[in-house]
Amino acid sequence: MNDRYHDRFRRRPDRSGFGAPFRPSRRTDPGARPQGSRQNESARSFLSKVSVDPSPRICLEKGSRELTMRAMDLLCPLGRGQRGLIVAPPTCGKTTLLKHLCQAITQAEPSMKVYCLLIDERPEEVTDFKRTVKADVRWSSVDQPYENHVRVADELMNQVYREADGGADVMILLDSLTRLARVHNTGTRGQGRTLSGGVDARGLEVPRRIFGSARKIENGGSLGILATVLVETGSRMDDVIFQEFKGTGNMEIVLSREIASRRIYPAVHVGDTGTRKEELLMTPEEKEGTRKLRAGLAGMSPPEAARTFVGLLEKFPTNGELLKALKAQV
């Protein structure tokens, strides 16, 4: 009987963002796919159904009065089955945004199953999430091996496929898509063509499948995924991962280091943030109001636009009042 286990240590490349050695517990046969890539019957059933545009709308302001949630309602409205990217440089409020999203969605949509998936996260951040949000937190911290990261993500996806296929509305907040891609890149290294930054061509296969599975099923359930993707980290691998996922979602909220450095929060890049076919999620009054809002901010620099936008959010206690004021403008 061949021994498939070994004790050889390997070290992740520094550019990947991982520095500590880890011990793979199982040899990977050439050409074999990670466990997380295997779809069960519920996944195949769910993904084979007719997908439509995200709906109905999830009103974040209904669940939270945080300025970031009100900003998202105006700039990048969410619907059930949304596939969204949260583009985040370091120290721009990504973690706070995720926690506010968890709290807002669970309050606004009590019937929705909300999960928070933390992959390769710091242990103290895991504890903070578990203590502060009502969502079901699934995690594999930075001290865990590659296999555990894959297993946790795989088990959650199998569960949500069953739930969504059965007609439930499900939302996953994933932190982060970048780290999930790094993990799978480690597991498939040397099995495919190597892209720029040391990314194995097959390493993005499973993360792309996971993120791409977010959808609203016609006359059925939905699976929404809001995933953070890391940028401006100094890692060429992270840049390649971002470019591979850019444009694959139907919603993006872009955080800006330049804006955050000026202590303007939420540090949202107004011009780059938006939802595809947002008109399907908005009333005519909301569409007209947000059009005027964007037109008024279009000629400003990103920090100036963010400062003006935050000022409007602070001035008017609700988005309805803000839009009414914009409508009154000639």
Q: Read off the pLDDT of residues 200-241 as tens digits, 9 standing for 90 and up.
A: 777 788 899 999 999 999 999 999 999 999 999 998 988 988
- Measuring CA to CA, which residue among 243, 230, 254 is closest to residue 175? 230
> What pLDDT sits at residue 191?
55
Tokens of 248: 């694959």
Decide which of 297 and 30 is more confident.
297
Query: What pLDDT digit, counting tens, does each position of 74-85 carry?
Result: 999 999 999 999
- Measuring CA to CA, which residue among 159, 137, 157, 139 is closest to residue 149? 139
- Measuring CA to CA, which residue among 54, 72, 53, 63 is closest to residue 290? 72
Measured at the CA of 143, the angle between CA 141 and CA 145, to 5 degrees, comes to: 90
Tokens of 84: 């969204």
Alpha carbon 301 to its chain centroid, in Å, reads 26
> What pLDDT sits at residue 205?
87
Query: What pLDDT digit, counting tens, does each position of 114-171 carry?
Result: 999 999 999 999 999 999 999 999 999 999 988 899 999 999 999 999 999 999 999 9
pLDDT category of residue 33 using cuts at 50, 70 and 90: very low
Cβ atoms 133, 126 nearer than 8 A: no
Q: How far is it, in rounded angstroms, from Cα 107 to Cα 219?
A: 24
Please determine, for residue 192, whether its predicted confidence score (pLDDT) is greater than 70: no
* pTM for the model: 0.84
DSSP sequence for 16-85: GT--SEE--SS---TTPPPGGG---HHHHHHHHSPEE---SEE-HHHH---HHHHHHHHHS-EETT-EEE
Q: How many CB atoms lie within 10 A of CB 48?
A: 9
Tokens of 101: 């999203």
Q: How many CB atoms lie within 10 A of CB 69?
A: 25
Residue 90's region, left for phi above 0, alpha for psi from -120 to 50, else beta, is beta
Percent of the chain whose pLDDT exceeds 70: 84
pLDDT category of residue 34 using cuts at 50, 70 and 90: very low
What single letter denotes the amino acid at residue 201? A
> What pLDDT sits at residue 18?
32
Cβ atoms 327, 286 nearer than 8 A: no
Q: Identify the structural domains of the chain with CATH numbers, from first to last.
A: 36-281 (3.40.50.300)
